[in-house]
Amino acid sequence: MCGRFVQSSPGEVVAKRFGLRAVPPLQPRFNVAPTQPAAVIREVDGDRRADLLRFGLVPGWATDPRVGARMINARAERIASAPAFRAAFQRRRCLVPVDGFYEWRAVGRSKQPWLVRREGGGLLALAGVWERFEPAEGEPIESFAIVTTEASESLRELHDRMPAVIEAPDEARWLDPANDDRDGLRALLRPSAATLERFPVSRAVNDARHDDPSLVEPAAADDEEVP
């Protein structure tokens, strides 16, 4: 599961990291939630660019765009066959650059949010797929979902799923819309090879209206820290 994440790096940093020709005018976000716009990296006509798409994929065949609020994640094991995601997996793949993502650990009857990020900082490139929905009336909606896989051993005590991370040497293959090697693409959907750190953060993350740098600061957990 990946329902909230952080995109706080400046556009200049994102452009350099992903080889973009243009610097995207990104605003720092510390609590991106479903249905909100977020930056994704796409390859269009051989050119990489960063675009703002809605978090929560709306399939092209949908009758109501609100269905996207429930389609924020695509399971790697079924992405090639799931009706909502298979067309996007074949032709419309993207990267979601994040400075971290949140997971929740059950604590009694409540849940404690934890931030997961690359040890020492730096961007992670989460695997994503995107779609374009054209309603009978109104503007088209471009949206995306984050691909998830089994959690790495270090994160399993927080959640049994985590976002699939595309490593830098594999990014071109993942983004290439002409690449139709489904088995090869699925083999890229795995946990991050980088060392990740995680720590408890404020429960203010639970409310999507909260979006400020304090959310990514360590906070006291309600129980003993995960070993």
- Sketch the domain layout of the chain as residue ranges: 5-216
Identify the weakest region by mean pLDDT among 28-42, 136-150, 211-225: 211-225
Q: pLDDT digits over 84-113, tens only? A: 999 999 999 999 999 999 999 988 788 899
Under the banding of pLDDT at 50, 70 and 90, the label for residue 41 is very high
pLDDT for 73: 98
Q: What is the pLDDT of residue 224?
A: 45
**Cα dihedral value 44, 181, 90, 99, nearest 10:** -60
Which is the CATH superfamily of the domain at 5-216?
A: SOS response associated peptidase-like (3.90.1680.10)
pLDDT at 59 over 60: yes
CA angle 9, 23, 138 (to 5 degrees): 95
Indicate which residue of 12, 43, 94, 103 is catalytic: 103
- Identify whether the C-beta of residue 42 lies closer than 8 Å to the C-beta of residue 51: yes
Is residue 2 annotated as part of the catalytic site, yes or no? yes
CA distances from 192 to 100, 116, 128 (A): 12, 11, 14
Strands 73-75 and 141-150, bridge-based pairing: parallel
Closest alpha carbon to 74 in 128, 33, 125, 32:
128
Question: Contact at 8 Å (CB) between 149 and 164?
Answer: yes
Dig out the tokens for 139 from the structure.
Answer: 């503007």
* Confidence class for position 137, pLDDT limits 50, 70, 90: confident
